[in-house]
Amino acid sequence: MRRISLFVAALGILVAACSGAAPSTQSITDAAQLTRIDLPADWQYYSNDDLADIASTPFVTQTPGFEMPVMSRFVFDAAPIPTTDNLIAPLSQAEFPLGSSVVRRISPEVRDQISRYLLAEVVAPYHQASEQREVAKIDIDLGDNFQGVQVTVIYKEPGTELNVGVHLISVTDPEVTTLYQVAIGCNLECFQAYVPEIIEIVDTWLINTRG
């Protein structure tokens, strides 16, 4: 497993100081053991089996013309009442953080079109939003030609035109055949309250580059 650990700078007023003892955590791995993340023990996670009846899970944007089928995934949230209903509502309705770790296959037709712009767009479609601001953005170079992007962004959600915040990492392998992505977000008020914890959680994300 490879850890993607980057310091996100320039978050300004979004990040408040954290104090107190570290909460207990649970390590979650997808069924194919391609990704892993450490979540607070009181967060709920939903396995691929839990998601069987949900056609579209959070942070899996199916951009027209770019075929990237899901290989493996899990979803999680901090809602006090766990239910998969939380996963199908607009992100702007999420009053507690909602996230996912997803591995997708990149088709041969798409691989030559992959860019850092697209890697972020297929996770959170913010580039075409009526208003959007990248609070922080870092290009990722892991060595061995694993490359991608890490972004903290605030934007108006298409469809609702309400503000949401998302922190994401999206990275692809040397052959540009697999997309590894993790993202956590919620409505703007929630995001501003939870952003230090969200960044800390995303920082624990691991990918299995050996497949």
Q: If we measure between CA atoms, which residue out of 153, 142, 110, 114 comes closest to residue 207? A: 142
What confidence category does residue 13 fall into, taking pLDDT thresholds of 50, 70 and 90? very low
Please tell me what DSSP assigns to residue 86. G
- ∠ Cα 121 169 146 (to 5°): 100
User: Judging by DSSP bridges, how do beta strands 147-156 and 178-187 pair with one another?
Assistant: unpaired
Mean pLDDT score, 111-134: 93
Nearest alpha carbon to residue 74 among 57, 55, 92, 94: 57
pTM here? 0.88
> Average pLDDT of 82-107?
93
Q: What is the mean pLDDT of residues 123-142?
A: 91
CB of 104 within 8 A of CB of 73?
Answer: no
Q: What distance in Å separates the CA atoms of residue 172 and residue 193, rounded to the nearest whole number?
A: 30
Host H or E run for residue 201: helix 188-202
CA separation for the pair 2, 35 (Å, rounded)? 9
**Which residue type, as a one-letter code, is found at position 157?**
E
Above pLDDT 70, what percent of the chain?
87
Q: Identify the bridge partners of residue 12 per DSSP, sorted by sequence position.
A: none
CB-based contact 145:190 (threshold 8 Å): no
Q: What is the pLDDT of residue 56?
A: 82
| pLDDT of the residue at 19 | 40
| Domains defined along the chain, listed by start | 26-207 (3.40.1000.10)
Per-residue confidence (pLDDT) for residue 90, from 0 to 100: 93
Q: Are the CB atoms for 193 and 95 separated by under 8 Å?
A: no
Does the pLDDT at position 211 exceed 80?
no
The pLDDT value recorded for residue 145 is 76
Q: Which of 142-146, 163-167, 195-199 has the lowest mean pLDDT?
A: 142-146
Q: Is the pLDDT of residue 102 over 50?
A: yes
Work out the percent of the chain whose per-residue pLDDT is above 90.
65
Q: Name the range with the highest mean pLDDT among 80-89, 140-149, 173-182.
A: 173-182
DSSP state of 130: S
